[in-house]
Structure 1
Amino acid sequence: MKQWNIYLSGEIHTDWRQQIEQGCKALPVVFTSPVTVHELSDAAGDHLGHAEDPFWRDHQSSKVNAIRTQTLIQNCDLAIVRFGDKYKQWNAAFDAGQCAALGKPYVTLHDDSIIHPLKEVDAMAFAWAKTTSDIIKIIEYVVKQ
C-alpha cells in the first residue's frame, strides 16, 4: 500500500492537526506542515542580520520559511488547508494557490461563516470540509480505496 504524504497548512491556534493525525494513526500516511510556532516562524531569517524596518524582517523570514513550505507542498500527495475564523490566514490562501498552480489536490477546512471570502480558494479545492472528522473520512477513503 502506498504511503501518502499529506501537507497540513493553515491556522495554528487550535489542535486541528493533532485531531487529524490521531484519527489517521492506522493509515499509511506521513503528515508535514509549516513551522507552527508563530515566534519561530517570524524569526526564521533573524540570523541573517538585523533589519530596522519590520518589512525587511518579515521579508527575510518569509523567504527562509518558503524553502520549507514550497518543498513540502511540491512533495505532497494531498494538502489540507485550514482557515480559522479568528485570523486572516493569507499564508494558507497562498499555499492553496501554490497547490492549484502545481496541480496538487487540496481540501479546504473551514466553517460556513467564511464561505464568501474563500470562494475562489474553495472553487479550486477538490473538496470543502467543515470538521476534522470529515477530513479523516476523506483521507481514509483515498488511502484505502
Structure 2
Amino acid sequence: MWTVYLSGEIHTDWRDQIKAGAKELGLEIEFTSANTDHDSSDAAGDHLGAEDKAFWRDHKSAKVNAMRIKNLIEQADFAVIRFGDKYKQWNAAFDAGYCAALDVPYITLHDESIIHPLKEVDAAAMAWAQTPQQVVETLRYITQA
C-alpha cells in the first residue's frame, strides 16, 4: 500500500478525479490531505480561546493545521502539489518545500500559465502534470512498475 499526500487548492475536484482514477485502475494507494473544508480549517484553533485580532486567530489555526499536515507529509511515500489559477496557494508552495527538505518526492499539478512563478517549485519536483489524469498515469507507473 502506497501513501500519497494531496496538497493544494481546494476549489476544484482534482482530488476526487485522482482518487477515482486510481480506484478505477485498482491502484493500492491511500490518499491523505489537509483539511479541505475552508471554514473548519480557519477555525481549527478556535477551541483554544477567542482572539481579538484576525492575525492571532489565523496563527493559532495554522499551527493546529500544521500538526496534521506535517505528520501526513512525513508519512507519505510521495505527494501531489496542486496549484490553481484562482488563488495563490502559498500553503501548497510551503508543502512542496517541506517535501523537498524531507526528500519526499512530489509531482506538481498546474497549467502552463503559471510555469514561471513556480519554476523553483517545479525544479525540485520529480514530475509536472497538467491534468489529474496525467497524475493518475504517473501513479500507475510508480506503483505498478
TM-score of the two chains, using structure 2 as the length reference: 0.98
Partner of 2:75: 75
CA offset digits 1:71-98 (Å, max 9, x no partner): 0000000100000000000000000000
Percent of residue pairs bearing the same amino acid type: 62
Partner of 1:5: 3
The runs of at least 4 aligned residues of structure 1 exceeding 2 Å deviation read none
What secondary structure is seen at the aligned counterpart in 1 of 2:133? Answer: helix
Query: Which structure 2 residues correspond to residues 89-100 of structure 1 after superposition, within 5 A?
Result: 89-100=89-100
- CA RMSD in angstroms comes to 0.4
Partner of 1:21: 19
The alignment status of 1:135 with 2:129, answered yes or no, reads: no
Aligned residues: 143
Letter in structure 1 aligned against 2:119: K
Counterpart-to-counterpart distance in 1, 2:133 and 2:8:
17
Counterpart-to-counterpart distance in 2, 1:52 and 1:123:
41
**Unaligned residue ranges in structure 2 (runs of 5+):** none
Counterpart-to-counterpart distance in 1, 2:86 and 2:116:
15
Counterpart-to-counterpart distance in 2, 1:110 and 1:87:
12
What secondary structure is seen at the aligned counterpart in 2 of 1:24? Answer: helix
CA offset digits 1:14-55 (Å, max 9, x no partner): 000000000001111000000000001000000101110100
